[in-house]
Structure 1
Amino acid sequence: MVDMKRISSRNTWPYLILGVIQSLLLLFTFYKYNNKKQLIVLVLSCVGFACIFEFVNLNYLRAYQYKPRFLKNPYLDNIFGAILSQVIYIPFTAVFLSAFQAGWKLKFFFTAYFAFIELTFIYMKVYQHNWWKLIYTVILIPTFFKLSDVWLFFLKRKNVVVRLLSLFCMSTATTVNILFGLTASSKIRFKPGKTFTWHNHFKIEPLYALTISFVSTLFIKLFKERTASVSSFLALKAVDYVMNQLHVIQTIQNKWLHNFYHLFIIVMTRYYYRLIYK
């Protein structure tokens, strides 16, 4: 888990300071915005989008590398940096802009703000590009801001597709972060081959997280509450069984804890369902 002795590292402070700034921005948004439920749905939907984007860009394409030095293991530290970026920094800003119906001038300001932060992080050697370029950031961030605007627009109109995708994204956001906690605390490992490597682990973990989220979303949307919970749990155990038979899951330390993880995801997805549909 987080190594408290490393918090004093020069690498950690830029991430912490930016996290505080963006969190205050979100708190201000919640304070001012009337429909709190709608805002929770938008926040977690944006986090879910960002997680899916990062699955591809970081886990598979290795576009860049984060170096916050919160964790001793460089692979875990890299993923933790990505979680900070994709769970806090950019989604919180997108929600702020959408909630207050910000125009393109403010969107341009925050795009320049994140571009400056990216360059600063590179200069400080707390983040590096592999094949990624700054221009990609400058193009994609305002695109993400616009996606958040469109999503809020359709949420307000109770669009069927957007509501269902929101449920999936919210479940994904929760699944990803809890699963990372299990990984960092050595409770679960994925091994799609004879030898365990962190690179292979983080190729399988996103697929597992998306599968768990999809199953939970599907059963909770299709069935009544009690039936949905039981059916979801059995389906998730079936997923684990198949992965065990394929020798993809190497270890699940403390199976009771893993069962609790599944139950927690189901409970949270049911809660998200009520936020969206009730």
Structure 2
Amino acid sequence: MTVPDLDVERHGLDRIIAIMARLRDPVAGCPWDLAQDFASIAPYTIEEAYEVAEAIGNGDFGELRSELGDLLFQVVFHSRMAQEAGHFDIADVIDGVCAKMERRHPHIFGTAARAADADAQKADWEAIKAAERAATDGAVSALDGVATALPALMRAQKLQSRAARVGFDWPDLASVRAKVDEELAEFDTATSDIHRVEEAGDLLFVVVNLLRRHDIDAEAALRAGSAKFERRFRAMEALANGDFAALPLDAQEDLWAAVKVAERISAPAAPRPGEA
């Protein structure tokens, strides 16, 4: 397999492909890059995707540009390793996703009628995906295609959404809320560690369902809640001047309350009706 010359004036996809080829050159390449395989690189790919999401959440477009580059490099890295093994190359990856986008947008690239709105279009998209899975994998379950490697909350929400599309869902929000209480009671009365873990899973699963019924992304909600806790905890530590761990719990809780008050005072006022 030939390694392309690295032209420092080259820009775009050709340049990053050439850089990756040089890094993986079996004779003169980078020892670390040569030692990697799909499994060892996968955690970095996931990490880069989350860093993209963090940059978006922070509204930092300079950081977003950088993180998107890092994520792109992961795609090139995996594609290069696949090329070396004789499976596919980056051109196949690009051709595949282009064909998929055209196939899944028949209202744009074909003769299908345009959907009435985004929700209807999403339903059409999912129907096309289901038909593709059935044609290629012989898939018959509504849950097929939900990746097991997804974060737990995200996967729970996707499984529930898939089940709901074929009618398997609680009839109303009150039923879901009652199920939360039921699962919490079962957790409280669990008689062993194994039983408690099982009930904890059931409780989390139904809480995700409650959030789904409110159109809340459970993964994003927990991420935001964790960020809030971290922000407030660090603020408490700052107020304690390095002595936070030595404080009794009631003093720590006083600091927590003070931080919450300070946040409310510093937060921008919500617009009054007619001002938004």
Superposition TM-score, scaled by structure 1 size: 0.28
Name the structure where strand makes up a greater proportion of residues.
1
Name the structure where helix makes up a greater proportion of residues.
1
Superposition TM-score, scaled by structure 2 size: 0.29
Structure with bigger gyration radius: 2
